[in-house]
């Protein structure tokens, strides 16, 4: 494609495409294409002028080469990217606001005064009806106050004030609606499913298949700890399914043959085979949006308090207006009071502040499911870390295999991978990856495998019972013995690695050494969290005391617990909360799920198990733990903004009422200042909280 360079700097190009304007679809295709190049850091597309601003690193010739090779027809783009694009929504609201502003001021210039008065009276009817509807519901709300103020202005012949009030209310409603929709849609997109592979049931057995190739009518197996990828009906098996992502109810629901299950819900226990009735991209996004909009989780305690106060203040504003008229017999002063209320600003700025903070968190690869959890992060004094995949790298690797039987190390690794491939854990993934790197094929050798959370897996290979898992599970629960001739070699296993034990027929066959190095930023992050006010920073792990001590020491953590079970983590959090502490849990595995649910705010690392990401209140997509520091800063600044808005609204509007009663401010000026401050606070609440990095 030929392009025209309109402007350029060392790291930025603005180019024009050979067309008058782009459609929204074309803009989405081009943006998707350009963002696929690692050297392009940011893309801004202007559909109306067919211009593109490209920020890049390195040689500009790479960018120009990419643009010259581009054509709309040659780019393969998932349909979900087009369906869930915010581009058309933003364009609609920008045009709506621009049109309203132009029409409002053009009407004053063009329309005769007599016609304007008639038009303002007609528009007043809508606000009066809204006020009556609020009364019919048994509540005195801000809609009644708006109706009274506008009606009073019309009755006193102050049409200019009435027109300004109605215009500002309309702009305010549009801004609030736009911000809410943009924030909710962005949050929903980030909560949408990202499932690449599923286990499909075929005539030849289970086959790992691309999720995009699944059709309605196909059968899919879903095991414990994994997200159900499609809507469907259970044809085999039984499971406890957590449906919180769809219904908001935390308690798992039993699903057996014939029961309907929904995409995005999580199998907590058991295993099911489902017949797919609806594939990806058929309403899932809409369901998430509805869940978010209806969920009380979006509201922090401060936000809910502000909204309740807003509703309670409306009757007092009406009473103040009535008393002003009775005492002064001055309609102008009474109308000045009516023109000012606390509710508009409180109800507009608070939700916008929260939703904008959620959007800003998303810009930092942090998905937050509600303002309540940002408040919890801001107020927390205790943070609990899981070790594996959290403080240590999300992708542990197999350093070696030690054989304690006659079978070769590669054969034992192959058998272990066959068991581990079905289950969602970073250690299981390490075993499977190690087998793949060696080219070891591990078709189904075993009978149905049973997964015991935080312990291991039990199954049968060639009719022999096989177990793989932790020391506690293999030696204490299963009673596995170490061959006497191997005792010395067993005692010499290195403490620097985590150990995964594999046994058959009650005898130890192998120990798989898992290298689980600490994240390089862990110590620095711990120090920053301590400086941010966390009084208790805790690490909990199922690993041995030696391994735990080494990792905790490297991370700068003084309080740690080793060889703990999932219920121990949750128990610690419950006890801390009972002692009056606010607790955050950071984890990545199935074994962290009870603790994530028990905490005031559960944070999941996105590389971890699907069930952890679904149950958690916050998900971090970045591979760097610095995101937790960013989250704490963002949450603290949000609470400061909410308190600032609260004080500003109450103080400023109280002053306007006092000046109106004193006769210093006429109704038109009171209305203009009140509505102007409301819109200004709303726009201010949409701005980013964190400073832009250089």
Residue 248 has pLDDT above 90, yes or no: no
pLDDT tier at 313, thresholds 50, 70, 90: confident
Contact between 655 and 334 under an 8 Å Cβ cutoff? The reply is no
CA distance 325 to 527: 61
Q: Which two tokens stand for residue 657?
A: 């009422």
Is it the case that residue 654 has pLDDT exceeding 70? yes
Give the up-direction half-sphere exposure of residue 329: CA atoms within 13 A in the CB hemisphere: 0
In terms of C-beta distances under 8 Å and separation of at least 24 residues, what long-range contacts does 490-493 make, across chains too?
490/404, 493/402
- Could you tell me which residue, 131 or 161, shows the higher pLDDT? 131
Pairing relationship of beta strands 498-504 and 601-605 according to DSSP bridges: unpaired
Cα gap 78→194, rounded to integer Å: 12
* Mean pLDDT rounded to a whole number for the chain: 82
Contacts of 471 (CB under 8 A, 6+ apart): 499, 501, 544
Q: What is the 3-state secondary structure (H, E, C) of 304-342?
A: HHHHHHHHHHHHHHHHHHHHHHHHHCCHHHHHHHHCCCC
Report pLDDT for 235.
93
Q: How many CA atoms lie within 13 A of 414 on its CB side?
A: 14
State the pLDDT at residue 52.
93
Confidence of residue 282 (pLDDT cuts 50, 70, 90): very low
State yes or no: pLDDT of 293 exceeds 80.
no
Predicted confidence (pLDDT) at residue 177 exceeds the cutoff of 60:
yes
Taking Cα atoms as reference points, which of 292, 234, 233, 244 lies closest to residue 268?
244
Share of the chain above pLDDT 90, in %: 23
Q: Is the pLDDT of residue 291 over 60?
A: no
The Cα-based distances of 493 to 159, 165, 287, 479, 487 in angstroms read 87, 77, 51, 20, 10
Please report which confidence band the pLDDT of residue 80 belongs to, taking 50, 70 and 90 as the band edges.
low
- Given a cut of 90, whether residue 388 has pLDDT beyond it is no
More confident residue, 173 or 230: 230
Question: Which of the listed ranges 287-291, 295-299, 344-348, 568-572 does the model predict with the highest average pLDDT?
Answer: 568-572
Q: Is 156 in a helix, a strand, or coil? A: coil
pLDDT of residue 533: 93
Which pTM value belongs to this model?
Answer: 0.68
Q: Outline where 480-620 has alpha helix (H).
A: 487-491, 522-531, 545-555, 566-578, 593-598, 610-615
Alpha-carbon span 295 to 309, nearest angstrom: 20
Please report which confidence band the pLDDT of residue 449 belongs to, taking 50, 70 and 90 as the band edges.
low
351 neighbors 180 (Cβ within 8 angstroms): yes
Q: What is the distance between the alpha carbons of residues 37 and 61, in angstroms, rounded to a whole number?
A: 13
What pLDDT, on a 0 to 100 scale, did the predictor assign at position 304? 65
**Cα(512)–Cα(491) distance, rounded to whole angstroms?**
14
Position 316 scores a pLDDT of: 77
pLDDT on residue 448: 63
Structure tokens at 78: 């998932």
Percent of the chain predicted with pLDDT > 70: 84
CB distance 1 to 17 below 8 Å: yes
Highest mean pLDDT: which of 69-78, 284-293, 631-640? 631-640
Residue ranges of domains in the chain, CATH in brackets: 4-77 (3.30.70.100), 92-188+298-352+637-685 (no CATH), 197-279 (2.70.150.10), 366-393+518-621 (3.40.50.1000), 397-515 (3.40.1110.10)
Q: How far apart are CA 331 and CA 387, in angstroms?
A: 69
Instruction: Give the least confident one: 16-30, 240-254, 475-489.
Output: 240-254
Pairwise CA distance, residues 74 & 608, whole Å: 35
Buried b (16+ CB within 10 A) or exposed e, 372-389: bbbbbbbbbebbbbbbbb
Q: What is the pLDDT of residue 424?
A: 63
The pLDDT of 255-271, averaged and rounded, is 84
Does the pLDDT at position 59 exceed 90?
no
- Round to whole Å and give the CA distance between 449 and 576: 36
DSSP state string for 583-600: EEEEE-SGGGHHHHHHSS
pLDDT bracket for residue 633 (50, 70, 90): very high
């Amino acid at each position: 494609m030929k392009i025209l360079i309109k402007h350029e700097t060392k790291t930025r190009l603005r180019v024009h495409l050979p067309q008058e304007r782009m459609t929204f679809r074309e803009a989405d295709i081009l943006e998707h294409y350009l963002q696929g190049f690692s050297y392009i850091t940011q893309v801004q597309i202007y559909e109306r002028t067919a211009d593109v601003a490209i920020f890049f690193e390195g040689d500009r010739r790479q960018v120009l080469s990419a643009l010259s090779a581009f054509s709309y027809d040659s780019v393969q783009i998932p349909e979900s990217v087009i369906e869930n694009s915010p581009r058309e929504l933003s364009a609609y609201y920008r045009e709506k606001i621009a049109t309203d502003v132009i029409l409002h001021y053009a009407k004053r210039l063009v329309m005769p005064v007599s016609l304007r008065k008639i038009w303002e009276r007609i528009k007043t009817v809508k606000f009066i009806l809204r006020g009556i509807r609020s009364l019919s519901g048994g509540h005195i709300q801000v809609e009644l106050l708006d109706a009274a103020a506008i009606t009073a202005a019309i009755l006193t012949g102050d049409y200019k004030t009435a027109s300004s009030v109605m215009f500002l209310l309309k702009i305010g409603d549009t801004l609030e609606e736009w911000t809410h929709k943009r924030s909710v849609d962005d949050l929903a997109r980030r909560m949408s499913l990202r499932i690449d592979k599923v286990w499909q049931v075929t005539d030849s057995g289970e086959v790992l298949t691309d999720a995009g190739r699944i059709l309605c009518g196909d059968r899919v197996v879903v095991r414990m700890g994994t997200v159900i990828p499609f809507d469907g009906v259970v044809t085999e098996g039984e499971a406890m399914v957590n449906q919180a992502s769809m219904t908001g109810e935390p308690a798992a629901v039993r699903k057996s043959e014939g029961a309907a299950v929904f995409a995005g819900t999580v199998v907590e226990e058991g295993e099911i085979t489902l017949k797919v009735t609806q594939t990806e991209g058929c309403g899932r996004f809409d369901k998430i949006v509805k869940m978010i909009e209806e969920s009380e989780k979006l509201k922090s305690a401060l936000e809910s308090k502000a909204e309740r106060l807003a509703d309670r203040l409306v009757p007092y504003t009406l009473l103040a207006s009535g008393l002003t008229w009775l005492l002064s017999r001055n309609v102008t002063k009474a109308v000045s009071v009516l023109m000012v209320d606390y509710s508009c600003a409180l109800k507009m700025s608070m939700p916008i502040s929260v939703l904008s903070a959620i959007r800003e968190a998303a810009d930092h690869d942090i998905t937050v499911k509600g303002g309540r959890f940002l408040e919890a992060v801001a107020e927390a004094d205790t943070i609990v870390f899981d070790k594996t995949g959290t403080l240590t790298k999300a992708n542990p690797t197999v350093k070696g295999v030690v054989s304690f039987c006659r079978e070769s190390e590669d054969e034992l690794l192959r058998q272990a991978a066959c068991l581990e491939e079905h289950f969602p854990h970073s250690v299981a993934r390490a075993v499977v990856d190690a087998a793949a790197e060696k080219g070891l094929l591990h078709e189904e050798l075993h009978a149905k495998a049973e997964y015991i959370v935080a312990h291991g897996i039990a199954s049968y290979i060639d009719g022999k019972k096989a177990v793989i898992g932790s020391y506690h599970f293999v030696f204490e629960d299963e009673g596995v013995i170490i061959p006497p001739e191997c005792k010395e070699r067993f005692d010499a296993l290195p403490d620097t690695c985590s150990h995964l034990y594999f046994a058959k027929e009650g005898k130890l066959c192998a120990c798989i050494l898992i290298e689980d190095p600490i994240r390089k930023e862990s110590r620095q992050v711990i120090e920053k969290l301590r400086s941010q006010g966390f009084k208790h920073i805790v690490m909990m792990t199922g690993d041995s005391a030696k391994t735990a001590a080494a990792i905790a020491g490297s991370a700068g953590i003084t309080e740690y617990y080793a060889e703990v079970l999932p219920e121990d983590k949750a128990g610690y959090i419950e006890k801390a909360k009972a002692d009056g502490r606010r607790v955050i849990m950071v984890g990545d595995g199935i074994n962290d799920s009870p603790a994530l649910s028990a905490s005031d705010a559960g944070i999941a690392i996105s590389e971890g198990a699907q069930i952890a990401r679904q149950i958690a209140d916050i998900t971090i997509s970045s591979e760097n733990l610095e995101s937790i520091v960013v989250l704490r800063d963002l949450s603290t600044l949000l609470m400061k903004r909410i308190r600032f808005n609260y004080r500003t609204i109450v103080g400023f509007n109280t002053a306007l009422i006092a000046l109106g009663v004193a006769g210093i401010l006429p109704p038109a000026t009171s209305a203009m200042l009140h509505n102007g401050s409301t819109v200004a606070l709303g726009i201010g609440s949409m701005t980013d909280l964190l400073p832009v990095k250089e």
